[in-house]
C-alpha cells in the first residue's frame, strides 16, 4: 500500500493517478483510494465519478472515493448485522450526535475500510484482490492528524473492538513491507516547509518513515546557458520589436525571464530537499497541457518510471 500526502494544491491527486498508471503499466491491478475528494482524479481519464464504489476506470485500474460518514455507517452494518436494528441506529439522532462529537472516529473507520481493501482476497484462490492500494490521503495539515488517529485511539481505548481495530491499522501503517508513505510537494516555500515538517512529525510521532518525496510541477531547462544569457541581456536593455505577427519581443522576453526564474527556483528547492531529507526526491515536470487528460498523465507516469 502507498499512502500519499502533501500540502493542498501540489497536485496530489495527479501524482496519485500517475503512480497508479505507472504500476498498472507493470501489470499490477491497482486501486486508487481518495478520501472525500470533491473532484476525483479519474476525471482526467474521462471517467465518471466512482463515489463509494470500487469502479474500474481503465483496464486494471480501479478508483474509490471514501466518505468518512459512509465508512462509519458501513462499520455499523458490519457490527450490528440485523438490518432492522441497523436502520434504527443509523436513523437515531443520538447516533448522529455521537458521530459529530466523537473526534477521529469517522477517520478511524475510513482507515479501517482502507485496511479491509488492502487485506481483501479473491474467492477460492485467496490471491489479493489488488496488487497495489494507493491512498490519496488528506492534505498535510489534516493528513498527519488523519494518520495519527489509530495511534490516539489505541491509547485511549485499550480494550474492545475499536481499540483492537486501531492497533491493527497502526501496525499496517508502521509495517514497511506493507505500507510506503510518499510525500508530495511543489518547488514553492510553503509546500517545501510543510513537506519537511510532515517528514519530521511522521518519523518522530507516528514512527512511520516516508520512502520518497515527489516534487511536482518542476520547471525544467528550456534554453541553453547561452540562450538564457541572451534573453537576460535583451530584457535588461529593454529590447523591443516583433518576433512574428502579434508577438512582441518584449512579451516573449518577459516570458523567457519568468521561465528562467522558475527553473532556478526549482533547482534551489530540489537541492534543499535532497540536502534536508534522507530519502529520494523524484521530480515531475510542469505541464502546460490544456486540457490535462490521459495523455498528460501518461507522460508523468513515464517520468516516474524513469527515475
- Cα(135)–Cα(162) distance, integer angstroms: 22
User: How much is the pTM?
Assistant: 0.88
- Cα(216)–Cα(228) distance, integer angstroms: 23
Whether the pLDDT of residue 140 is over 60: the answer is no
pLDDT in the model for residue 244: 76
- Cα(220)–Cα(266) distance, integer angstroms: 8
Which segment of 95-109, 229-243, 283-297 scores lowest on mean pLDDT?
95-109
Q: Are 15 and 303 in contact (CB under 8 A)?
A: no
Indicate which CATH number applies to the domain containing 166.
3.40.50.300
Which of 216, 180, 188 has the alpha carbon at shortest distance from 272? 188
DSSP characters for 236-305?
HTT---EEETTEEHHHHHHHHHHHHHHHHHHHHHHHHHHHH-SS-EEEEE----SS--HHHHHHHHHHHH
Domain assignment of residue 86, given as a range: 2-306
Tracing cell 489488488 back to the chain, one arrives at 130
11 three-state secondary structure = coil
pLDDT in the model for residue 295: 93
- Cα(257)–Cα(155) distance, integer angstroms: 54
Confidence of residue 106 (pLDDT cuts 50, 70, 90): confident
Whether the pLDDT of residue 126 is over 90: the answer is no
* In the chain, % of residues over pLDDT 70: 91
pLDDT in the model for residue 69: 78
pLDDT in the model for residue 129: 92
Angle at 305 between CA 299 and CA 307, to 5 degrees: 110
pLDDT digits (tens, 9 = 90+) for 237-250: 888 887 777 778 88
Highest mean pLDDT among 143-147, 245-249, 258-262: 258-262
Confidence of residue 161 (pLDDT cuts 50, 70, 90): confident
pLDDT digits (tens, 9 = 90+) for 210-231: 999 999 999 999 888 998 888 8
* In the chain, % of residues over pLDDT 90: 50
Whether the pLDDT of residue 163 is over 70: the answer is yes
Whether the pLDDT of residue 103 is over 80: the answer is no
Angle between helices 93-101 and 83-91 in degrees, nearest 10? 60
How many domains are contained in the chain?
1
Amino acid at each position: 500500500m502507498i499512502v500519499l500526502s502533501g500540502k493542498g494544491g501540489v497536485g496530489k491527486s495527479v501524482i496519485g493517478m500517475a503512480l497508479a498508471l505507472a504500476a498498472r503499466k507493470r501489470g499490477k491491478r491497482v486501486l486508487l483510494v481518495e478520501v472525500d475528494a470533491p473532484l476525483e482524479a479519474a476525471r482526467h481519464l474521462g471517467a465518471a465519478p466512482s463515489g463509494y464504489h470500487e469502479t474500474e476506470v481503465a483496464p486494471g485500474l480501479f478508483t474509490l472515493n471514501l466518505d468518512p460518514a459512509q465508512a462509519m455507517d458501513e462499520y455499523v452494518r458490519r457490527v450490528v448485522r440485523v438490518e432492522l436494528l441497523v436502520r434504527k441506529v443509523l436513523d437515531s439522532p443520538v447516533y448522529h450526535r455521537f458521530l459529530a462529537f466523537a473526534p477521529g472516529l469517522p477517520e478511524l473507520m475510513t482507515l479501517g475500510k482502507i485496511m479491509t481493501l488492502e487485506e481483501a482476497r479473491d474467492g477460492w484462490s485467496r490471491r489479493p484482490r489488488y496488487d497495489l492500494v494507493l491512498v490519496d490521503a488528506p492534505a498535510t495539515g489534516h493528513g498527519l492528524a488523519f494518520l495519527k488517529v489509530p495511534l490516539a485511539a489505541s491509547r485511549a481505548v485499550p480494550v474492545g473492538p475499536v481499540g483492537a481495530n486501531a492497533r491493527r491499522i497502526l501496525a499496517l501503517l508502521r509495517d514497511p513491507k506493507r505500507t510506503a508513505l510518499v510525500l508530495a510537494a511543489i518547488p514553492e516555500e510553503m509546500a517545501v516547509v510543510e513537506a519537511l515538517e510532515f517528514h519530521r512529525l511522521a518519523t518522530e510521532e507516528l514512527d512511520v518513515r516516508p520512502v520518497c518525496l515527489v516534487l511536482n510541477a518542476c520547471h525544467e531547462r528550456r534554453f541553453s546557458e547561452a540562450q538564457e544569457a541572451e534573453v537576460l541581456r535583451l530584457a535588461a536593455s529593454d529590447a523591443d520589436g516583433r518576433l512574428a505577427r502579434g508577438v512582441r519581443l518584449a512579451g516573449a522576453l518577459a516570458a523567457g525571464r519568468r521561465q528562467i526564474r522558475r527553473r532556478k527556483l526549482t533547482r534551489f528547492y530540489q537541492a534543499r530537499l535532497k540536502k534536508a531529507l534522507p530519502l529520494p526526491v523524484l521530480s515531475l515536470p510542469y505541464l502546460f497541457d490544456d486540457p490535462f487528460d490521459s495523455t498528460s498523465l501518461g507522460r508523468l507516469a513515464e517520468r516516474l518510471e524513469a527515475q
